[in-house]
Chain A
Amino acid sequence: GDSVTQMEGPVTLSEEAFLTINCTYTATGYPSLFWYVQYPGEGLQLLLKATKADDKGSNKGFEATYRKETTSFHLEKGSVQVSDSAVYFCALKGGSQGNLIFGKGTKLSVKP
């Protein structure tokens, strides 16, 4: 079945460092891809999405490009801030199912 694999965390970075969180997927058909963020004590918020190959989603300085050839949707940010500390979830929708399939989440801690 459809699945999402994220890099294991936790990831600890200093402020202004470059961030990459890897995400790869397995799906039939043409899924849409999402990054959700969960700040401490809060629910899931959509960060960005891409609905077809080569689309780039972006929001709040974060970017991810839908790469069909490598079945990847890696999250990147050029300069992280302490306020970016959260758990980041890669997810896909479509493929063989109509619901969201989540990765395990990657906890990011940014130190001042």
Chain B
Amino acid sequence: EPEVTQTPSHQVTQMGQEVILRCVPISNHLYFYWYRQILGQKVEFLVSFYNNEISEKSEIFDDQFSVERPDGSNFTLKIRSTKLEDSAMYFCASSPIGGRGSGNTIYFGEGSWLTVV
């Protein structure tokens, strides 16, 4: 069964460093997402991406964050100048179609644990 894959599974980084989290969405999907889960807290939406541009983003997704689809398969999240509070599990996800009112399922990867020290 096709799945969303993420790398790395766990990354430890020094505060202030830049981090790139990588994702390979399911191949025929058109919408891509990043979510974040701080330990013990709820899963929070960061950003959605469609047709090579951001379609929606949350208040969390400020200038520190950026996303890119550098080729036909990868979808990346870049976090600049990491802070301690960026420590979280970052989930990549994809769906075949999306947009408001869509009942299509969003499929999640297994997540990338980011620890900022």
Q: How far is the CB of A55 from chain B (nearest CB, A)?
A: 10
Q: What is the chain A residue whose CB lies nearest that of B46? A: A99
Interface centre among B44, B56, B110, by most chain A C-beta atoms within 10 angstroms, is B110
Q: What is the chain A residue whose CB lies nearest that of B45? A: A99
How many residues from A make CB contacts under 8 Å with B?
Answer: 29
How many residues from B make CB contacts under 8 Å with A?
Answer: 25
| Cross-interface CB contact of A98 among B48, B105, B110, cutoff 8 Å | B48
Per-position contact with B for A7-29: 1 when CB-CB < 8 Å, else 0? 00000000000000000000001
Give complex CA distance A99, B80 in Å: 24
| Cross-interface CB contact of A44 among B31, B48, B108, cutoff 8 Å | B108
CB of A89 within 8 A of chain B? yes
Interface of B toward A, CB cutoff 8 Å: 31, 33, 35, 41-45, 48, 55-56, 91, 98-103, 105-111
The 17 listed contacts between A and B (C-beta, < 8 Å) are A29-B100, A30-B101, A31-B101, A43-B91, A43-B108, A43-B110, A89-B43, A94-B100, A94-B102, A98-B55, A98-B101, A98-B102, A99-B48, A101-B45, A102-B44, A105-B42, A105-B43
